[in-house]
Amino acid sequence: AKVTSASRSMPVDTRNLVLYLGARLAGTVGIQVQSVAIAWEVYARTGEPLDLAWVGLAQFLPLALLSLWAGNLADRLDRRLILTVCRVTYALGSLALAWFALHPEHGLWPIFSVLVLLGATRAFAAPAGWALLPWLVGQDRLPRAIAMSSTTFQLATIGGPMLGGLLVAAGGPAVAYGTAAGLEAIAALLVVLLRFTAPERKAPEEKGLALLFSGVRYVWRAKILLGAISLDLFAVLLGGAVALMPIYARDILEVGATGFGWLRAAPAAGAIAVALVLAYRPIGRHAGRWMFAGVAVFGLSTILFGLSESFPLSLVALALLGAADMVSVVIRQSLVQIWTPDEMRGRVGSVSMIFIGASNELGEFE
């Protein structure tokens, strides 16, 4: 691996992992701030729950249409370059949202247009970022690096919604969007600073449509991957409550934009507690039982949140939800990363993103 003079005091894989986690932290906080501002602004403008459904659908459709193409690119091109371009696009999208927030006379259609662009960007960013991590650390360090990456993600999803809620309450959505743009620019810079030598990848034997759907075929044949990926789809598609939180914050719990930020952060607070434990004490036995137990607790916690009319009880329910989800997330991500050869990681990652997008964004629409 290439080592610059400024980083000779630090092992290159450690340096790259720090940069990768920093980019993941900044980029995810930016997306979370942006997401909170979008949901709050759309519902504040119209008061129509169905408009929140369109927010999810506008992001899911381009993700579903482009993910397989994006996965093929991640297996053929420089994953670092793809991720950098995507982070810059996220930043530009946030700046566009800030401008439209300052000019509400244009209505909601420009916001949904930007959401389509961001959904398309996510289709390319997710498999590239997911497949990049194994290049930065050795195979023996990969499970722990995945746990650290998940912990970083959950830190961002704690701080991001809280920061987004505070920014919306203090300065309005435009301030939140501007902050998100700055964070995405920082993430792009950190990705550019990564230094490594990419391993040689086998040229795919398939061509045309056969190559496009090769990731789907691989997941279908590897039943352990199919089970791990599809489990999240059915759990979150029917149980995701994130899209309803502006309604709960304003109309049921009556806690305002700041309380909305706390509600969005609560699942991540529970998740990070579990992720920290798993980073130092990974699950070594009975992983399947732990995974199914996590999904069951996720469902029960969602029911508790749905029945609650108390803000503290709602926070507890969401924290339990996040903690349970993290158990299955770490197990599923570790299975998928370890079970997939490097030359297939982008394509398998794109299939995984379709399932995740279906469960999250399509679940929000549902």
Indicate whether 274 pLDDT > 80: yes
Indicate whether 289 pLDDT > 90: no
Section 1-21 average pLDDT = 61
What angle do the packed helices 345-357 and 49-76 form, to 10 degrees? 170
User: Which residue matches tokens 């909305």?
Assistant: 260
pLDDT digits over 165-207, tens only?
Answer: 888 888 889 999 999 999 999 999 999 998 876 666 565 566 6
pLDDT digits over 140-157, tens only?
Answer: 677 777 778 877 877 787
Section 156-167 average pLDDT = 82
Separation of alpha carbons 181 and 187, rounded Å: 10
On whether the CB atoms of residues 161 and 265 are closer than 8 A, the answer is: yes
CA angle 293, 296, 301 (to 5 degrees): 125
pLDDT of residue 1: 38
On whether the CB atoms of residues 200 and 300 are closer than 8 A, the answer is: no
Indicate whether 7 pLDDT > 50: no
Query: For 172-286, where are the alpha helices, taking DSSP H only?
Result: 173-192, 208-212, 214-221, 223-239, 245-247, 256-280
Report which DSSP code applies to 193: T
CA–CA distance from 290 to each of 68, 204, 297, 331, 357 (Å)? 30, 36, 11, 9, 24
Phi/psi at 2 (5° precision): -80, 140
pLDDT band at 29 (very low <50, low <70, confident <90, very high): very high
More confident residue, 358 or 149: 149
Indicate whether 24 pLDDT > 60: yes
pLDDT of residue 207: 61
pLDDT digits over 218-243, tens only?
Answer: 888 878 878 877 777 777 776 667 77
Calculate Rg over the CA atoms of the chain.
Answer: 20
On whether the CB atoms of residues 71 and 351 are closer than 8 A, the answer is: yes
User: Which residue matches tokens 């926070």?
Assistant: 315
Indicate whether 90 pLDDT > 90: yes
Helix, strand, coil percent content, the chain, rounded in steps of 5: 85, 0, 15
